[in-house]
Structure formats: structure tokens, C-alpha cells
Structure 1
Amino acid sequence: MALYSITGAQLAFGHLALLDNADFSLEAGERVGLIGRNGAGKSSLLKIVAGITAPDDGLVARQAGLHTVYVQQEPEFDPEQSVFDAVALGLGESHVLLSEYDRTAEALSVAPEGAEHDALLARLNSLQSSLDAADAWQLKTRVETTIAQLGLDGHARVGALSGGMQKRVSLAQAWVAKPDVLLLDEPTNHLDFDAIRWLEELLIGYRGALLFITHDRSFLDRVATRIVELDRGRLLSYPGNFTQYQERKAEQLEIERVENAKFDKLLAQEEVWIRKGVEARRTRSVSRIERLKTMRNERAERREQQGNVRMDVAQAEKSGKIVAELTNVTKAYGGRTIVRDFSATLMRGDKVGLVGPNGVGKTTMLKLILGEITPDSGQIRVGTNLQVAYFDQMRAQLDPERSLLDTISPGSDWIEINGARKHVMSYLGDFLFSPERARSPVKSLSGGERNRLLLARLFARPANVLVLDEPTNDLDIPTLELLEELLEEYTGTVFLVSHDRTFLDNVVTSVIAAEGDGYWREYVGGFTDWQVQSERSAALAAQRAPVDDSPKESAAAPKRGTNRTVKLSYKEQRELDGLPERIAALENEQKDAAAKIEDGSIFVKDPAAGAALSERFEAIELELLEALERWEVLEAKQRGENA
């Protein structure tokens, strides 16, 4: 029996039906990913399941005693509360008892002997009995363990935390409650890679039922056991993860297209028949006329798919070939080194992802690359003719009181995109804003709509360098995929800060990763390539590390990344410079070979070629390990380490 079900649900805002005779159920142990276009009504459905709101019509059924916890997209806390108290709120009544016990014990410790002391002692004994009965001492341990798992400080004030840390507090609060049904609205927003991975593992091991909204495709692939899509008011269910959903959805849309085309053709034929006039009246049948009326009604009620955003970047003149050259750059703030001895050359057309934990200094690194701040030591040479456009994740560039029209083109009805004039209404229509919406103030927009508006504003300005700080937050998946295509085709330079792993994989050509203590390193490829290379490097370093039981020698050993450098020979320098390209080529060859082996058709068409391909696949792995090890040896030598 389902834990929760909705049958024939209706929900409308204005003339738009968000739920149109929709059915939904949630079984025990399921992990359901809820997806759909921005504004489709996903958060509204989540609130209905949480019992916060109700549908306009339809039957809602839930099991008796079902404990449901809802974590909203933007957490709300008392800013003066401690992290421990905020997390412990998830315990409900037990938290109240624990808090009162602590207050009573504190008051008792300073109360003089007498009636007040005796009353406090009696109250403390009563509270202890209640806490024993509720097994609340174990709950206190659960709160402390959860706080530690999420890397939080239980004594910190919630109002002093960043958005990412407050998100962790809200997740911890939900987790300690041990609900039967857990509802999460955009749980990965503001979380860094480590926190997202931790959350994935946590939810995969969760025994209750999970319903969550996210546009993070990697998260959906790892966590979801079923995808439910809210499409034109209906809830469509697809067993499996997001990749499996994409395959089934493509098949379904093609079937729908063919059926609609057949229906429209038959309707057109019937409309011609009914209009033939007097000579056809004898052949008209009542049933045929009734069928035509029914078909007209069906066609009128058909809800077409929402159109896709149409994006085009206003390209500026080309920048210089070198965008930025950094040599031994170091930058510190308040005694903390953000960037330490970093060198890189970034060329026109590079698409660079900056990755690392929240607060590590990605924004500082970006400003150094673009020459907006001066390093404490080292040199930065910024390229010529740079025209930079920024996408700000905090949306500070948007004035909430201005209309969408004034935001895109203040004082003019026209904008120019790549030499072609376009009316601002038409341009906003490309980003799915209706004429009525275009005259509305920015403050009336949802988070996803504001991100779309910011993209529209960004792309309306000529630029040859795009700086995108978390552009994927709140964007629906079709818009994300279109943005990926646009950036892939963009001929300028892109700097991208994002925690969307799939987006990074599909867009960037290299990754600059924070490796701790102010050290950064550039890797060829996307997010997955960075993970593979860094894991291989760590494994090789561990294999080479000598076993040393001497504390003195270990303490005195030179640290990785010290500024002592050794000049490589000309031959070694040439070899080191060529290794990234060689590693990238080997990894591409490995990827192609793996795809052919997985496909299997080569073994049927040409068994000998298949056998040779299998041998080559094994050889590539050895060559990759040797190349990575040689890269580590040469880099260590250049830094002055004992290789």
C-alpha cells in the first residue's frame, strides 16, 4: 500500500492549471526525483504532499501516523539560535524537554537552599524521568553526531553562517527527525562538491521514502530510483534514474508527435468534408458531425509543450591570443593565504572551470586572473582587448523595482545582437517572458525566472570573456542543456564557477582546482577528468611515499608545494610541457575504445579488430599511469621535492 497518494488532483493559479487531473503515489523506500520546467508547479506539489497546502480538487490519502518532514529551498532560522538548537528542533517535543532540563540544571546550580531550590530539584527530577521515557539522551547524541558529520560547529550562531552552511543546518534538522517521508526542495543549492557527495551517500542509505526536486542531473542519476515529470499539468512516472528517463522521454515525445500529426491530418480532412456545402449534405451523418465536434474540443484542450529558450551571445571583437598569464602568484587576506605560488597561461577560447569547497577563494582567483586585484607577489599579465560580462549568482545586478524591459534595454525599445537589431519584446520572448511579464517588476519573478533574466541581460552585451558564477542555480533542465550548447559553440573565453558536475563536464576544457592551503592546480578536461587525474595522482603519490617511523625526519621533510624550485633541463621541460596534451589524447582514446567495446558490434563485424582493440584498451591504462607518474616526478623536481 502506498504511503501517500493523490488522485485526480486539480490546482490552478489564475488561468494556468499547474495540476490537471494529476495522479501521484509514493511507496515506502522509493527515492523519487521530481522534475519539470520552471513555474510548472513542482514546489506547489511538494507543499501538497507536506500538508502545507491542499489541491483545489482531488482525493488525497496518506497512511495514519505518517511522519513527514519538508526542507524548503531557502532555509529560515532564528539568526540568534545556536546550530545545536536549530538542528535539535527536528526532535520536536524532546528538544523542548532537553532545553528545559539544561536551563533548570543551570538555575539549580546557583539557587540557594530553600523552597526555590527544592522546586527546581523536583522539576529536574520530573524532566529527567520524561527524558528517560522518551530515550532523549540518545537523541542528543544523534544531534551531536549529525552536526559533526556535516562539518558544523554546534556552538556557532546560525545568522553568522553562509548560505551553504545554513543549507546544511536545515538538512541536519530534517535528518535527526528520522521521518517516514523526507521532502527536499533543491537540496544541492549552495552546497559544494564534498557536501553534495556526502548528501548523496546519506540519501542512498536512507530507509524512508524520499521525494525531491532538483535540476542537478548527476544527483538525479545517483540518488533517484524513479523520475516523476510534471509536464503540462500531468504527472508522468519513469522507473529508473535520469539517464533512463531521458531515453524513455525521447521515445514518448516521438510517439506523441506522430499521433498528434495523424490526429491533425484527420481533423483537417473532416473540416474540408463539413464545408463541402449542399452537395455533401446528403452524405453527412449525425455520428460523423458529432465526432468532428469532439475532435475540435480535443484539439482545443491539447496543451502543447512549453517552448524552449532561444539564446544567442552578442559577440565582441576577438581578444588577444593570451587572455591571462600568471607567474608564481600569491595572494593572502588577514593572514590566510588564498592563492599560493600559482602559475598558468590561459588562452583565447579556453573554457575554464574553477572548483573547490565553499569559501576556498574561487572569486579571488577569478579577480586575479582578470587583473581586478593585485597579487602580493608574482606577476600577472592580462591580455589585450578584453570585454568581460559577468553573471552574478547573488543577482545583485538586478534592480527589483525596475521592469524587465528597463533591465534589458534601459531607455530603448531595441537591442543589437551580433549586428542585427531586435525589438526588446521579441528578445525577452526568446527567454520565455510574455509581453505582460516583460512590463512586470523584477521582484515579481521566481528564482529560476531571475536567472533567465540575468542570462538575457548578460547575452545582450557584447563580450569576448564570460564570467559565470553559479549560473545553473534554479534553471530547469531544458534551459541548462541549451546553455551548455551555447557555451560549447561560443568562440570567446569562459570562466565558470559551478557545483553542477554534469554542466562542468559538458562545457569546460580545463579545471583549476583548489587543493588546500592556498595551492591550486590546472587539469585538462572536465569535472570527471579532474577527479580521475587527481585520484590517480594521489594513488601514485601514496605508492611512492616511503614508510618512515621517525617523527623527527617526518616533521623535517619538505612539504609539497614549497617555493624552493629546481630548474629542469631543456629536454625535461619540453617533456613536462607536452605531458598534459599526451594524457588528454590517451584519455580520449581510452574513452572511444571503451564506447566501442561496450557497443560490441566490432566483435561481430571484425573479431580480429575487436581483439586488437581490447589489447589496446589495456595498454592505454598502463601508458596513462606511466605518463601521470612521470608528470608527478617532473613537477615534484621542479618544485624542489624529493621525488
Structure 2
Amino acid sequence: MSLIHVKNLTFTYDGSYEPVFENASFQIDTGWRLGLIGRNGRGKTTLLRLLCGTYPYQGTISASTPVSYFPYLIRRPEAPAIDAVSEMEPDYELWRLQCEMEKLRLDESILLRSYATLSGGEQTKLQLAVLFSSEQHYLLIDEPTNHLDLPGRELVSRYLSRKRGFLLVSHDRAFLDGCVDHILSINRADIQVCRGNFSTWMENRERQDAFEQRKNEKLLREIARLQDTAREKTQWAGRAEARKIGSAPADRPDNYRSYQGAKAERTMARAKAIEKRREAALEEKKLLLKNLERREELKLVQLPFYTERLAELRNIRIAYGARTVCDSFGLSVRAGERIALQGPNGCGKSSILHLLCGMDVPHGGEVRRGSGLRISFVGQNTSGLCGSAAELIREKEIDESRFYSILNKLDVPKAQLERDLRLLSEGQRKKVLLAASLCERAHLHVWDEPLNYIDVISRIQIEELLLRFRPTIVFVEHDKAFCEHVATRIVSMQKA
């Protein structure tokens, strides 16, 4: 395998004053199973695009291996999927594609269906099969898990664990742990490469942060001590200098004033030496905590409800035309529960959430919600988010300072929210919706795949929030670690 060398990479989007990368340097082996992580807005997708040669940049990127990028852009989704395969990789070999499809448990019959009729998971797996059926390419894979349910994620993670030669962007901790052997992290101050999976990187990161925190505290104490000592010696030397008369040599202690003057000079010299030590300690301190990721606590105040049972669904059947997605389903939501709905794609999880919120869903059965129940909903899709943050605050009638505070803790500074929200990254847009939900006065939170596009550190913050404040919430999420840590009850659903 070969190396990709990146040296002094600098890139800024047109119209932006802040560079995405500035003099970044690193190298990677194209034989690694490399996971790319970093908080939203740090430039993960931008880096993949730069490696593809999509944008002009300063610095050098040297690679002897051509690259392929996932997801492909499908220009004719209404055509049969086999035509989409030709569009993705014109020189594909059918037998290689069939082998990869079999490993991903894709039936060959989907190649004859319109690409647009494939589920999101089927489209993702087919694109990965095409990607790995070509040889001699370095593969750039950008967030493949967003359309995969939990079994699909586990399948694709096992599939990737048997491959080599790719750079993968994902925020799913369990998914990364299952398939990567190196981590490339875009930090606050630099870009670093670490051997191991995500858990290895996280353990090393926390150990390094703790070491730097202790060293920082020690230096602060040392700086304060040196500052006090230098001040005392400077003041003493100043007083002694004021009393000095004459210029007798210092080796005549009987001449008290001259002796005191010489002593004052030595004390002043020591004070200057101490000041230099203080400045050196300050310089050393500057090198610490540059990459410390803030995991400040988020806050949630949920309204109390007057009864223990907030909502109940009985014998629910949901059908869209002739297609029944859910039948004989029941769910009771009690105060304090954190309920995770799980099941394969297409079993009606999102429809149940919409029905619970009172949205228009064709159904049979009984839906009961407590009188006056207030629900805060966050959907999968961020496409409807537009306009300014100020307009969203007015529309939702939420507290402005609290909204901006939550987003700042999630690493979305207020300055980035002064433009149209459509210009934010997908992860930042999802954070805006979650922050608004956390500010709403509600008895029940209903979240549909809230972590899509959200970076790992922010996922941990949200997880810690739910564990600390214990709100009543019903959610759908395919992040295995998040569900295992957060859910008090898992409700499994099956296709009708």
C-alpha cells in the first residue's frame, strides 16, 4: 500500500473569513481502515472533497492512488438500479458486484427495480457494493450509517471490518469500533492520527486531557507563586535601593549602606530570573489544552404532568394504500420513561411517532393523549429549517439566551447562527432543532433519529443530559451505544 501525504493544507470557502484548515499536515497509509472523526463544522466532508480534488487549496496533497467517493450522485434515480450502477462505475464487472452484494445480503433482483424505489438502506448497501467492486482505488466513505437501521449497521460494520483501504466518516461509536483500525481526528488546534478504534482514541484523549488538566493546574499554582515571590523581591530591592548612600565595594560589610545596595542588586537580579521562569511557565501553559473538547453540561426542564400515564396507543394499524406497515401495535407512555422504538426499516417507527404527536397518519385503533399534553417533536429531516435563528426563536416562543447557550455548549457559536440556517452543515442544523426542542415547554419529547449527522462528543453530551434529568421521551435511534445507555425500555417492532 502507499501513503497519502498532506502538507501545509490551507483552505477557506469563498465568502468566509475563517479558514477550515490552516497549515494542516499529516500522512495516512492507504491500507488502513481509517475512521475520520471531529465535531460538526470542523471540515470532515470538506477534507474528503479536498482529497478528491473538488476544491482548489493551498499546500500539497500527494497521493499515487486514485480515489472514489461515497455517496455517489445518482442523476437518473427513476432508471433501473443496474443503470445507476453503470453511472456510478462505468467499468464495473458484474461478477464482482454480485459477490459484494451477496456479502451485504442484497438480492440481485433489486438491480431490475427503479433505483428510486429502493429503501435508503438498500441504496446505501448497493453503493458500497459498487464502491468495493472496483480495484486499485482508495475509498472515501462519508457517513454511510444515516439510512441504516441497527441490524443494517451491524452488517455493514462487519462487512467493512473485512476490507482495507478506506477513509470512513461516522459518528456511531459501536459502528466505528467494529470496523476501523486507525482514527484520524480533526481537533480544535490540529489533525492527529491514532492507532486503534474509536474507544482506543477516546481513552487516549481522556487520559491526555486529564494529564494536561493536572499539569495546567500545577503551572497555574507555580505561576502564582513565582509572581508573588518576584513582587516581594522587587519591592524589597526597591526599598533597599532607596536607602543606599555611597558606592563602597560590596566586599566591605562594615560599610552597611554599600553592602545593602549590593544585596539589593542581587535581589533584583533574582527577581528578574524568577520573572523569566514565570514567563517560561506561561509559554508552557499555552501548549496545553489546545485540543480539549468542551463537554459542558446541557440542561433540560420538562413540565410535570398531572397523571402518571401521558399517552397510550391501542391495537394500532397503519397502512398507506395497500401497504400495511404496522398492525396490532400497542404502546403506553408513563412519566419518566425513556422509550426506544426499534425495528427494521419500513416497520412504521416514524409513523408511530407522528401518530403519537397527533399528526395526520392513516390508521386504525385507539390513540389516547392526556388532556393538555404538550409534546416537543424533532424529526429526521432538517430540510425545512431555513431563515434566521431569531425567526426560529420567535416561532417556537423559546428563551433566546438559553437557546444560544445550549448551541454554544454543542460547539455551534452564536456567530455562525447569524446567517441563513440553510448554510449550516447537516450536523449543525440538527443541533439547532435539538436545542430548540430542549428549550420548549413540554411534558413529553418525541425524537425521530435525533443523532443523524451529530458528532460523537455532542452525542455523549445529549446522552449525559438524558441520564441526568430523566425526561419522559420516546425516540427512534440506531446508535447502539446511545440506546443501551439511555433507554429505560426498548419496544421492538416488526414489519406487518
TM-score calculated relative to the size of structure 2? 0.80
The 1:384–1:85 alpha-carbon spacing in structure 2 relative to 1, beyond 3 Å, is same
Per-residue Cα deviation, 1:391-443 (whole angstroms, up to 9, x for no partner): 01112552x12x1122123598x728xxxxx5665555444443433322211
Offset at 1:77? Answer: 3.4
Offset at 1:255? Answer: 1.2
Residues in 1 aligned to 2:277 and 2:24: alpha-carbon distance in whole angstroms: 26
Q: Give the equivalent residue in structure 1 for 2:269.
A: 283
What stretches of structure 1 of length at least 5 have no aligned partner?
96-138, 417-421, 519-643
Contact 2:312 2:332 in 1 (8 A): yes
Which among 153, 167, 192 is matched to residue 236 of structure 1?
Answer: 192
Q: How does 1:74-473 map to 2 (within 5 A)?
A: 75-92=73-90, 94=91, 139-146=93-100, 149-151=105-107, 153-206=110-163, 208-268=164-224, 276=234, 279=238, 282-283=268-269, 303=290, 305-308=292-295, 310-318=297-305, 320-370=307-357, 372=359, 377-396=364-383, 398=385, 400-401=386-387, 403-410=388-395, 415=399, 422=401, 425-426=404-405, 428-473=407-452
Q: How does 1:11-26 map to 2 (within 5 A)?
A: 11=11, 16=18, 18-19=20-21, 22-26=24-28
Q: Give the equivalent residue in structure 2 for 1:27.
A: 29
Contact 1:354 1:362 in 2 (8 A): yes
By percentage of residues, which structure has more helix?
A: 1
Offset at 1:190? Answer: 1.4
Per-residue Cα deviation, 1:213-260 (whole angstroms, up to 9, x for no partner): 110011011111122222123223332222222222221111111223
Contact 1:318 1:492 in 2 (8 A): no
Letter in 1 for 2:477: S
Q: Give the equivalent residue in structure 2 for 1:623.
A: none
Per-residue Cα deviation, 1:539-572 (whole angstroms, up to 9, x for no partner): xxxxxxxxxxxxxxxxxxxxxxxxxxxxxxxxxx
Which among 31, 37, 40 is matched to residue 38 of structure 1?
Answer: 40
Q: How many residues align?
A: 460
The 1:40–1:165 alpha-carbon spacing in structure 2 relative to 1, beyond 3 Å, is same
Pair 1:488 & 2:467 matched = yes
Offset at 1:451? Answer: 0.8
Residues in 1 aligned to 2:18 and 2:218: alpha-carbon distance in whole angstroms: 27
> Residue 146 of structure 2 aligns to a residue in which SS?
coil
Contact 1:91 1:176 in 2 (8 A): no
The 1:373–1:451 alpha-carbon spacing in structure 2 relative to 1, beyond 3 Å, is closer
The 1:319–1:371 alpha-carbon spacing in structure 2 relative to 1, beyond 3 Å, is farther
> Residue 512 of structure 1 aligns to a residue in which SS?
strand
Q: Which moved more, 1:381-390 or 1:251-260?
A: 381-390
Residues in 1 aligned to 2:227 and 2:53: alpha-carbon distance in whole angstroms: 48
Contact 1:329 1:375 in 2 (8 A): no
Letter in 2 for 1:355: Q
Question: Over the residues paired in the alignment, what is the CA RMSD in angstroms?
Answer: 3.4
Contact 2:174 2:481 in 1 (8 A): yes
TM-score calculated relative to the size of structure 1? 0.63
Contact 1:70 1:183 in 2 (8 A): yes
> Residue 328 of structure 1 aligns to a residue in which SS?
strand
Offset at 1:54? Answer: 6.2
Contact 1:349 1:491 in 2 (8 A): yes
Residues in 1 aligned to 2:402 and 2:353: alpha-carbon distance in whole angstroms: 34
> Residue 160 of structure 2 aligns to a residue in which SS?
helix
> Residue 495 of structure 1 aligns to a residue in which SS?
strand
Contact 2:227 2:275 in 1 (8 A): no
The 1:410–1:301 alpha-carbon spacing in structure 2 relative to 1, beyond 3 Å, is farther
Contact 1:144 1:154 in 2 (8 A): no
Residues in 2 aligned to 1:271 and 1:150: alpha-carbon distance in whole angstroms: 69
Q: Give the equivalent residue in structure 1 for 2:68.
A: 69
The 1:196–1:435 alpha-carbon spacing in structure 2 relative to 1, beyond 3 Å, is closer
Contact 1:10 1:19 in 2 (8 A): yes
Offset at 1:515? Answer: 2.5
Contact 1:82 1:155 in 2 (8 A): yes
What stretches of structure 2 of length at least 5 have no aligned partner?
239-263
Q: Give the equivalent residue in structure 1 for 2:481.
A: 502
Residues in 1 aligned to 2:324 and 2:162: alpha-carbon distance in whole angstroms: 38
> Residue 312 of structure 1 aligns to a residue in which SS?
coil
Per-residue Cα deviation, 1:479-537 (whole angstroms, up to 9, x for no partner): 10111122223444211111111111111122222223x2xxxxxxxxxxxxxxxxxxx
Q: How much identity, in percent, do the aligned residues show?
A: 28
Q: Which moved more, 1:217-226 or 1:373-382?
A: 373-382
Offset at 1:162? Answer: 5.0
Per-residue Cα deviation, 1:101-141 (whole angstroms, up to 9, x for no partner): xxxxxxxxxxxxxxxxxxxxxxxxxxxxxxxxxxxxxx123
The 1:483–1:435 alpha-carbon spacing in structure 2 relative to 1, beyond 3 Å, is closer
The 1:331–1:230 alpha-carbon spacing in structure 2 relative to 1, beyond 3 Å, is closer
> Residue 147 of structure 2 aligns to a residue in which SS?
coil
Residues in 1 aligned to 2:422 and 2:318: alpha-carbon distance in whole angstroms: 37
